[in-house]
Amino acid sequence: MGAPTLSPAQLVDRLLHDIEETLGRPVPPVYAGALRAVPRHEFLPDRYWVRDGRGGYTLRDRTKDPDGWMTTAYTDTPAVTQFSDAPPDDPAGGSMPSSSASQPSMVITALIDAEPRHGHRILEIGTGTGFNAALLTAHLGAGQVTTVEVDPLLTTTAQQHLNRLDLAPTVLCTDGTLGAPNGAPYDRILATCSVRTVPPAWVQQTATGGRIITPWDSAWSCYGTLTLTKRPDETAQGRFAPYGSYMTIRGQQPDIDLERDILRTGQTPTRSTTTISPWAVAGGNLDTEFHLGLTTPGAWYAWDPATDAAHTRLWIADTTATSWAAIDYDGQQASTFAVSQYGPRHLWDEVETAYRQWTALGQPGVHRYGMTVNPDGTPTPWLDCPGQPLDGLPRT
């Protein structure tokens, strides 16, 4: 056991080097200074978890391994601090992570995109551990930063972390989708959780010329970060950037299970075949999956490698639990795949059409997409410029 082999200052130096390697550029001095002024380990619990590279998590326990706990606190990786539905005596006993300390390079990237300046009023959505609010407060001052968190326990813990370092942003326990109207308008709204739709309150509470920076999520793909600028006509408009994969804001998390909610005995699907491989649409290409998320709203997928009906099956369903599709690989040939579809939406037809559209458009990357959001939250996604809305582009 024993003390860490590197001092906290040395660990921060190493972290800054790793962040610069990820960003491909130096960390701006103002944010490097904030990282030095705000010790990340002060915002982590005695037990947290990091990905093990095999789909699971590795525990870092301060009591049993203080060196590993401290060293990992200053690596460029997210640290899970809470799991959903976990019993009090087993914080990792839940099914999914529900709170984390974000990856430092992603935190810095979002701050660079936000460009918070002295005199700006900032609203942070998702206090979490309080680390990001601490960086903002160290940069701008306590009176300029408001942060909101829906979880009472996380709110209390974050407040304790901030108090310990004599940092005093306004910390509120409330639903983040509602913003914080008493402090509006804000020059910047920064979300540390992803959204499937931009809450109208965020648009309404942003000052003209101000920005909203939020990670993006769709039923198909949790990826991308959207930066919007509030316009004089009360709309917000901006582009996506190819980074960011965050937990979805709690008010927009659907609770849909394929076996429990969708599949029923007596359902008679229509059957066909396709030449589009299921791996082409759900094989991990982030550009493909981002496009499908924007153009097939509510559609999500799950792989089943153990079905009796096929060697491997791609399930597709929708968040209303009314439609599903199954695309089967027989384990022998990959030129055609069996398709079954049920419900009012022919989900595979929609996905195949969207995939062919993405291909016909030249396989655009995430950075070519943007969105205009009306004051009521109605979104219009577009490609390259607002004059090319996705629903108006050819769908072959």
Q: Which residues are catalytic?
A: 102
Hey, what amino acid is at 142?
A: A
Residue 261, Cβ neighbours under 10 Å: how many? 15
Q: Where are the alpha helices (DSSP H) in the chain?
A: 8-23, 29-37, 66-73, 104-114, 131-140, 152-164, 200-204, 278-282, 286-295, 347-360
Residue 149, Cβ neighbours under 10 Å: how many? 28
Residue 175, Cβ neighbours under 10 Å: how many? 15
How far apart are the C-alpha atoms of 331 and 2, rounded to whole Å?
Answer: 53
Please, are residues 219 and 254 in contact by the beta-carbon 8 Å criterion?
yes
Residue 311, Cβ neighbours under 10 Å: how many? 12
Using alpha carbons, list the distances in angstroms from residue 115 to 20, 108, 110, 190, 218: 18, 10, 9, 11, 26
Please, are residues 240 and 367 in contact by the beta-carbon 8 Å criterion?
yes
By DSSP bridging, strand 170-173 and strand 145-149 are parallel
- For the chain, give me the number of helices (H) and strands (E)? 10, 18
Please, are residues 177 and 123 in contact by the beta-carbon 8 Å criterion?
no
What DSSP designation does 375 have? T
For 215, counting Cβ atoms within 10 Å of its Cβ (0-12 exposed, 13-18 middle, 19+ buried), the class is buried
Hey, what amino acid is at 30?
A: V
By DSSP bridging, strand 369-373 and strand 379-383 are antiparallel
The tokens of 20 are what?
A: 């610069």
Hey, what amino acid is at 114?
A: A
What DSSP designation does 80 have? E
